[in-house]
Structure 1
Amino acid sequence: MALIIPTQLKLKPPNPLQNQILHPQVGFITVRTKKTSCSFRDFLNSHKVSLRIGGFDGSVFKTRVCDDGGAIPFMPSSSSDVDTGRSSSSGSRDGYVALFVRMLGLDNDPLDREQAMVALWKYSLGGKSCVDNVMQFHGAVNLTVNLLKSDSDSACEAAAGILRTISSFNVYRNTVAESGAVEEITGMLRRPSLSSNVKAQSICTLWNLSVDEKVRVKLANLELLPLLIKFLEDEDIQVKEAAGGVLANLALSHSNHRIMVEAGVIPKLANLLKSSEEGYKVVRKEARNALLEFAKDEYYRILLLEEGLVLVPLIGEAAYKSFKPSLHSWPSLPDGTKIEQHSKAPSRYGASELLIGLNIENQNLDEAKKNAIVGRTQQQFLARIGAIEMEGENKSNSESSSSGRFTLLPWFDGVARLVLILGLDDESAIARAADLIADSSVNEHMRLSFKEAGAIKHLSQLLNHPNETVRFPVIRALERLSISNDVCQIIEANGVVYPLINSLMHVDTSGSLTEMILNILTRILDPNKEMKSKFYAGPVNGSKGGWNAARNSQSPGYPSEMADSQSTSSVQTMDVEDVVDSAFLARITEILKTSSPNLQKKAASILEFVTVDEPCVEKVISADIASGLDCVFQQKSFSDTEAEMYVQKPELLALEVEEAGQAISAACRLFTRLLEFEHFRSTIDIQHFTTLLRKILISEIPVRNKDWVASCLVKLSSFSRPNLDFENPVTMDVTLYETIPRLIDQIKTSFSPEVREAAVIELNRIISEGVVDSTSVVASKGGIFPLVKLIEEGSDRAIEASLAILYNLSMDSENHAAIIAAGAVPILRRIVLSQKPEWTRALHLLRTLPT
């Protein structure tokens, strides 16, 4: 390799120079050579070679070469000597850099290469000018990378150290990345025994290189990621910091997220972030930076929640100045539950008032309430002293609530912080907190945690906020929280129905806000609650309360004093007539006419709840509800124009049919309820609705959604034609398209032998009565295979009924192949040979089959 070497050093001795150099940071650096020729020693002695290695303090140290190749260090005797040394050695120093680079050559002794590498590493610590001197020799980086293969820890540490120094400068970073350093470092880190210093220097080099986007893609591979994750648990804190820094930089590239998450990086980083050990400040910072990048993805945010971390907005210290701590005469839990005061009279010396929190005799609080109290106390204390966003968070980055910055906190602190922000005056901060509450309410644990922390009370009050940018995330948060039945009851108790109805009257029909409002109202105004209250109002498991009270008392964190009040249905706790007015009913009817099947289903459910109160039925009929039901029954997914779409995108049509079936089922429940009133029957065209429902019954909606359609048809036919025999086309359609498919489904899927036996007996009765096309429907719905299976596993009655059905099916030769493919022949032969009571039927069936 051609190198630029000063003229006085172009003499090539058999072996390189051996020097021992005193460095201000590391002491002596030994450069070993073998015994040289006399001419080479004379050359060195005659020139009185002085070597200077640049250090951080700029000190100069000299060595004089002896005849035996050794070095005798000495300090300058005066400042004048130092100055003289500086001026005389400044030029020769660069020459020695060239010599040390030359000593890195592959043809030199390994120990000489190691000592030269150590010297160059220490020299490079002098700053960019020293690095520039090294980098003027184009082969220096490649020779350094080659030395990473050395078995010596000292050589590997020096090589990784100088690569770390060089890669810290932007101008040389690509050179290091293109030299194969990443691959060599990866191979070196896989060694089973490696010193902490080597690991730290190597990973810090990767830390510098990972600043570049192109290098990050190269680093995020299945070989290096497991090593970095393993080093997060290393005993050396510097190795932890370096590994965390590399992972934090890799997380900056969204394309790396999937492979990093699959490698298991989130649990490891979460454990480091939650660690409270001393000296982990840098590690926690890098772990937080990486996890915040993952938190930008909705799915990965759920993984963070599973690790006990909650995303919290940084709104700035100024926003917390509006925090007003509540000064109550008696303490209460964060969710607003009052703690019973046993001592009515004040204490003689005022101790009970001074130490009011210690005067709580009832200490039987569950874990959820205790966590809520601890979280509230900690966050309120930090807010009072003005340190709530100081620790671990950049103060300059959190001054504006619109900055969009976030941090991660343990879940009990994060929940308390979000609830605290809801009580501030900053509208932007409130909106961000409400959005994060909605995003965090992904499981029952988090929903109950927000309930215990008092979020429901704040969110309910914010429904009346004049700013729409605040109301939208508040409604979204309530919608996600209301998924929990226990939390939904608390939401209802806070009087959210009227504000929600008011908001529903002022939003667009197709907007997402309408769907969220309807979701909440559907869960609160649930018609099934009234039915449950009728059937489960008595004691359950020996308890005094009803079904709701027994269920709620088993839920963690549910206030016992509220269990009795929540055991009643919404009908009993709310005046339905106050909710229902002409404008509200007109809005619901408009949703039935113009919205998607999903919204139609919710609107129909709310109207069904309203019709439980008979005085409200007249209002519902007057709102032209019949036209809304007519629109629901004429779903576009049933039209002929959808056939082409079914061929191109069958999954989309299947989804539409599923949603349409749910909407129709809800509308049929409402329709059946309204048919009980003469006024409603007189306002509708019974024949028109019969035609619509028959078309739906024949359609491909799921069988479970056809039961209410069949009920409506039977009820309508009773008003138009009292004859209920099989000659009635309505009864025929119900039998073919609802009853028979439902019975086959029970035979296929039920785990109960009694249910399967009852289903097959009922199916045999229908077929034996000669219902037209009944056997073809059984075959087309896949009933042959479960019937054959039932012959082998069922009871005597089930076997007899199954044989009778299969015999009727065998009359059509097109069914023979399916019966034989289901394995009926061997089973039938065993029955005949066993002389069981059903052997004659089995024999008749065998004779009809081509065996």
Structure 2
Amino acid sequence: MASSGVAPPSISNPKLPSAAAASAASRESRRTTSSSERGLAAPPALHPQLRPRSLRARASASGDGGEEGGASAEARTKSEFETPNRNVSSGEGYVGLFVRMLGLDNDSLDREQAIITLWKYSQGGKSCIDGIMQYSGCINLVISLLKSDSCATCEAAAGLLRTVSSVNLYRDILSDSGAIEEISSLLCRSPLTSEVKEQSLCTLWNLSIDEKLRVKLVNNEFLPVLVKFLDDEDIKVKEAAGGILANLSLSPCCHSLLVENGVIQKLADILKRNVEDSKVLRKEAKTTLLELAKDVYYRISIMEEGLIRVPIIGASAYKSFRSPSHSWPSLPDGTELQRSSRPSRYGATELLLGLNVREKNSSLEEAKMNAIVGRSQQQFLARIGAIELEDVSKSTTTPSLNQQYTILPWVDGVARLVLILGLEDVSAITRAASAIADASINEHMRNAFKEAGAIKPLVQLLGHDNESLQEAAANALERLCVSHEICQTIELEGVLSPLATILKNANTSKKLLEKAVGILFQIFDLGKDMKRKNGNQVINGSSGKLYATSNSKQNGILKTVDGISLSEVAERKNIIDSSIISLLINMLRTSPPTWQVKAASILEYIAASESHATMISASDIEAGLDDVLQQASSGGTEDNIDDQFELDPVRAEEIGLAIAAAARLLTKLLNLEQFRNKIDSARFILLLRNILKSDIPLHSKNWVAACLVKLESLAHSEIKLEKPVDMEVTIYETIPRLLEQMEKSFSLDNREAAAIELNRVVSRGGVECTRAVANAGGIFSLVKLLEEGTGEALEATLAVLYNLGMDSENHSAMIAAGAVPLLKRIVRSEGPYWTRALNLLRCLPT
């Protein structure tokens, strides 16, 4: 069933104007009929002086122009235009006369009079429209008038099509007759009067109600013109354009074209205007954006324009809102603003001060001022019961209310969502928390929620007995945790304790468990901790001082050397026990790669503590690491490269991140002698070697190579290796990394440094390294550097290419890369390295 759209406002239904009045008025203004109007039931006789020119010509030709001759001519004319159906009323015959006058063989002025009269007549209601539509070919004649040079004719033709399109039965007829294409072509013409644009757009508005006709409206030529009408000076034109867009947005197939033509930006500007605009236009803009917001990517684009999708929860839900009487504007941390008078018990004083906070407190940050303004407005609306004025309270029990949303500017939207978090309705709070998670798309929005006071209630909701609400709150906190500063604020609000409770509960759902681990991963993220260390770096798994005992006092707060307060360190230690460690290890063994990354990173963090590292070593950690590392390895022998899995790029990236996290954890645990004595070092060396040969991304292989070198250095006395580990690291990690740097780096200095390092590697590694360079496609990058490089980098590049030139299989690639003309240029220049270039040139078949 076709989805129904929104119809334009209905036209008033005046009675049929007399034909004489219509004829005379159209000659005078060509736009409107006389103010005298009569009904259709008994249409008056046409006066000889007011009849259309073609009828007067016939009358004068048949007599002397007297009364008798005129009556006779009129009778003959009526007989000629009489319809075949003798049972029709005289009014229907009268309509037929004007339909005939639309013919292409009639004078343009008569056609204009006829279309204006029929347009006014069609406004009498469905019966009048039916009377017009009974004449076959009438619509085709009307559509042909859209090409007229007369604005009055175009307006009347479009107006008649508008009234006809208001009847469901006739929309397909209009579409099949080409009305959409002709109106679209008309609207692309310039200039047009506001009346023509209004009638034309309203016709398309009616037609866009039908879902199958919307596809015809969306084309690359008309849609940009339609969007431009949103900037028209006439409000009716803007409303009609907005109505069409609102109906088009009801079809998901139209969304991409609407977004590509800048609809989001235009409609967002309409909703963000402070001046009072047309309510119809604002409603249409909101409808369109809400439909587009159903797609997560378009929702992000809408939020980037400064709007937020806020759930409609019903006016009754706000009745539970309670705020202290005589309250005063304050900051989210509880700091009150300076009082100068007694506040109002209804919150009016708070509202006024909140609205003027920018003038009175210029020293406050912009985010804090916006938080006060938004909170003052939303709390005042809640106090007086003005939130969600639309009557949704009657439908609070219907499922449809749970799907309703509105669009608000971000200042009001953030404050509204935080206000809902303090209500009693569990369903409303759950939807608000989910909306906060959706809106936390960038640092600006995350900071806005923090300043508005969303962190504390979200942390408290983690301890709620409703699991759906817990999941929504955890999802919001995980999205907010992306910000380093907000992550610290969340931890200071005491989030670790409820997280530990969730993780230790055996009945916790899988989704909530994932979100809880995600928050813990963000808090224990070593990358965020490095920001606290004022530039101190952690290198490839080396143990950090996350639990250091030395401290310093800064700004009155006792901190560790890593920038973490002693209370934070103590709480982090206390929440970790054997049950949580077992849970994380089980996630390594049974969960998808995204979960494995988080579990391995948390274990890597807590392994910095000797007690926790011992606890991890005593568990089944080696099995968990083995399962993660085997994802990119076939488990065959180290020489069996053909057995490696072929991974698609997305899968390879996910697995690569998990393996890198596992490699960092393994490197950290190798510091513990108890763990080294427990694991099968030979098996892990075999796994890591195979991973170096796999298709995982190069940045993940960096961690694998570092772990492999450390593992081999600790176990070399116990394990006899057929091939040295450092050679495999060079071939599968070092050389690809250097070639990638030469190919992708924008800095010439970086590319030259990579070439110098590559020359050192190749000179030490011999034939195997040379083959690795050729197999990785390094010849083209080296030849390119011949043209740009200088000094030591040029010498190193020539040296590597000379080693490659010793193998005749590389000659064709070197010639194809354009090495010959570049070498000849170096030789002719007789620079410092021209002899090296000459020797290489002699090796090539030139």
Short-chain TM bin = 0.7 to 0.9
Q: Counterparts of 1:397 and 1:48 in 2: how far apart (Å)?
A: 67
For residue 25 of structure 1, report the CA deviation from its aligned partner: 5.9
Alignment-derived partner of residue 493 in structure 1: 492
Letter in 1 for 2:465: P
For residue 524 of structure 1, report the CA deviation from its aligned partner: 0.6
Provide the secondary structure at the position in 1 that maps to 2:406: strand
Alignment-derived partner of residue 96 in structure 1: 94
Measured against aligned partners, the alpha-carbon deviations of 1:538-579 in whole angstroms (never above 9, x if no partner) come to: 9xxxxxxxxxxxxxxxxxxxxx99999998237872323212
Q: What pairs with 1:659-698 in structure 2 (closer than 5 Å)? A: 659-698=654-693
Q: Is the 8 A contact 1:459 1:474 kept in 2?
A: yes
CA gap 1:818/1:183 in 2 versus in 1, 3 angstroms: closer
Alignment-derived partner of residue 310 in structure 1: 308
For residue 639 of structure 1, report the CA deviation from its aligned partner: 6.2
Among 295, 298, 301, the alignment partner of 2:299 is 301
Aligned length: 765
Measured against aligned partners, the alpha-carbon deviations of 1:339-398 in whole angstroms (never above 9, x if no partner) come to: 487x9xxx9x9799997969998641122111111111111111111111117x877667
Among 224, 227, 237, the alignment partner of 1:226 is 224
Provide the secondary structure at the position in 2 that maps to 1:325: coil
Among 648, 671, 692, the alignment partner of 1:653 is 648
For residue 467 of structure 1, report the CA deviation from its aligned partner: 0.9
CA gap 1:505/1:285 in 2 versus in 1, 3 angstroms: same
Q: Counterparts of 2:818 and 2:464 in 1: how far apart (Å)?
A: 68
For residue 284 of structure 1, report the CA deviation from its aligned partner: 1.2
Alignment-derived partner of residue 524 in structure 1: 523
Q: Counterparts of 1:252 and 1:385 in 2: how far apart (Å)?
A: 35
Q: Counterparts of 1:203 and 1:829 in 2: how far apart (Å)?
A: 70
Q: Is the 8 A contact 2:557 2:565 kept in 1?
A: no
Alignment-derived partner of residue 714 in structure 2: 719
**Correspondence 1:285 to 2:280:** no
Alignment gaps of 5+ in structure 2: 1-19, 26-32, 79-87, 538-554
For residue 407 of structure 1, report the CA deviation from its aligned partner: 1.1
Q: Is the 8 A contact 1:788 1:823 kept in 2?
A: yes
For residue 507 of structure 1, report the CA deviation from its aligned partner: 7.6
Alignment-derived partner of residue 709 in structure 1: 704
Q: What pairs with 1:265-280 in structure 2 (closer than 5 Å)? A: 265-278=263-276, 280=278
Alignment-derived partner of residue 617 in structure 1: 613
Alignment-derived partner of residue 71 in structure 1: none
For residue 587 of structure 1, report the CA deviation from its aligned partner: 0.2
For residue 271 of structure 1, report the CA deviation from its aligned partner: 2.2
Alignment-derived partner of residue 442 in structure 1: 441
**Correspondence 1:589 to 2:588:** no
For residue 768 of structure 1, report the CA deviation from its aligned partner: 3.2
Q: Counterparts of 1:25 and 1:775 in 2: how far apart (Å)?
A: 97
Q: Counterparts of 2:393 and 2:115 in 1: how far apart (Å)?
A: 43
CA gap 1:129/1:845 in 2 versus in 1, 3 angstroms: closer
For residue 729 of structure 1, report the CA deviation from its aligned partner: 2.0
Q: Is the 8 A contact 2:330 2:372 kept in 1?
A: no
Provide the secondary structure at the position in 2 that maps to 1:634: helix
Which is further off, 673-682 or 841-850? 841-850
Q: Is the 8 A contact 1:117 1:144 kept in 2?
A: yes
Q: Structure 1 vs Structure 2: percent identity of aligned residues?
A: 53
Letter in 2 for 1:827: L
CA gap 1:571/1:754 in 2 versus in 1, 3 angstroms: farther
Q: Is the 8 A contact 2:326 2:343 kept in 1?
A: no
Alignment gaps of 5+ in structure 1: 1-14, 51-64, 66-89, 539-559
Provide the secondary structure at the position in 2 that maps to 1:118: helix
Letter in 2 for 1:384: R
Q: Counterparts of 1:147 and 1:427 in 2: how far apart (Å)?
A: 60
For residue 423 of structure 1, report the CA deviation from its aligned partner: 1.2
Alignment-derived partner of residue 803 in structure 2: 808
Among 580, 605, 609, the alignment partner of 2:601 is 605
**Correspondence 1:125 to 2:145:** no
**Correspondence 1:157 to 2:140:** no
**Correspondence 1:336 to 2:333:** yes
Q: Counterparts of 1:762 and 1:735 in 2: how far apart (Å)?
A: 12
Letter in 1 for 2:823: L
For residue 277 of structure 1, report the CA deviation from its aligned partner: 4.3
Provide the secondary structure at the position in 1 that maps to 2:231: coil
Q: Is the 8 A contact 1:309 1:409 kept in 2?
A: yes
Q: Is the 8 A contact 1:787 1:802 kept in 2?
A: yes
For residue 684 of structure 1, report the CA deviation from its aligned partner: 1.3
Among 215, 218, 241, the alignment partner of 1:217 is 215
For residue 762 of structure 1, report the CA deviation from its aligned partner: 4.0
Among 731, 734, 746, the alignment partner of 1:739 is 734
For residue 278 of structure 1, report the CA deviation from its aligned partner: 4.7
Letter in 2 for 1:154: A
Provide the secondary structure at the position in 1 that maps to 2:250: coil
Q: Counterparts of 1:420 and 1:710 in 2: how far apart (Å)?
A: 51
Provide the secondary structure at the position in 1 that maps to 2:259: helix
CA gap 1:727/1:844 in 2 versus in 1, 3 angstroms: farther
For residue 442 of structure 1, report the CA deviation from its aligned partner: 1.6
Q: Is the 8 A contact 1:764 1:804 kept in 2?
A: yes
Q: Counterparts of 1:323 and 1:523 in 2: how far apart (Å)?
A: 33
Among 145, 148, 161, the alignment partner of 2:146 is 148
Higher relative contact order (CA 8 A, sep 6+): 2
Q: What pairs with 1:317-716 in structure 2 (closer than 5 Å)? A: 317-326=315-324, 331-333=329-331, 335-339=332-336, 363-390=362-389, 403=401, 404-506=403-505, 511-536=510-535, 568-569=563-564, 573-575=568-570, 576-635=572-631, 638=634, 653-716=648-711
Q: Is the 8 A contact 1:592 1:600 kept in 2?
A: yes
CA gap 1:184/1:577 in 2 versus in 1, 3 angstroms: closer
Q: What root-mean-square deviation, in Å, do the aligned CA atoms of Structure 1 and Structure 2 show?
A: 4.0
Q: TM-score, normalised by structure 2?
A: 0.81
For residue 800 of structure 1, report the CA deviation from its aligned partner: 2.9
Letter in 1 for 2:110: D
Provide the secondary structure at the position in 2 that maps to 1:736: helix
CA gap 1:197/1:611 in 2 versus in 1, 3 angstroms: same
Q: Is the 8 A contact 1:389 1:398 kept in 2?
A: no
Letter in 1 for 2:288: A
For residue 200 of structure 1, report the CA deviation from its aligned partner: 1.6
Which is further off, 35-44 or 187-196? 35-44
Q: Is the 8 A contact 1:806 1:845 kept in 2?
A: yes
Q: Counterparts of 1:780 and 1:561 in 2: how far apart (Å)?
A: 60
Q: Is the 8 A contact 1:831 1:839 kept in 2?
A: yes
CA gap 1:326/1:681 in 2 versus in 1, 3 angstroms: farther
Q: Counterparts of 1:451 and 1:178 in 2: how far apart (Å)?
A: 56
Q: Is the 8 A contact 1:397 1:405 kept in 2?
A: no
For residue 721 of structure 1, report the CA deviation from its aligned partner: 2.4
**Correspondence 1:785 to 2:780:** yes
Measured against aligned partners, the alpha-carbon deviations of 1:660-693 in whole angstroms (never above 9, x if no partner) come to: 2222221121111111111111211222222222
Q: What pairs with 1:25-174 in structure 2 (closer than 5 Å)? A: 31-33=51-53, 34-35=56-57, 36-37=59-60, 42=67, 92-174=90-172
Q: Is the 8 A contact 2:22 2:116 kept in 1?
A: no
For residue 604 of structure 1, report the CA deviation from its aligned partner: 1.0
CA gap 1:173/1:704 in 2 versus in 1, 3 angstroms: closer
Q: Counterparts of 1:563 and 1:174 in 2: how far apart (Å)?
A: 77
For residue 632 of structure 1, report the CA deviation from its aligned partner: 1.5
Letter in 1 for 2:333: G
For residue 309 of structure 1, report the CA deviation from its aligned partner: 1.6
Q: Counterparts of 1:112 and 1:567 in 2: how far apart (Å)?
A: 90
Q: Counterparts of 1:97 and 1:158 in 2: how far apart (Å)?
A: 16
CA gap 1:159/1:395 in 2 versus in 1, 3 angstroms: farther
Q: Counterparts of 2:368 and 2:840 in 1: how far apart (Å)?
A: 68
Q: TM-score, normalised by structure 1?
A: 0.81
Q: Counterparts of 1:817 and 1:48 in 2: how far apart (Å)?
A: 98
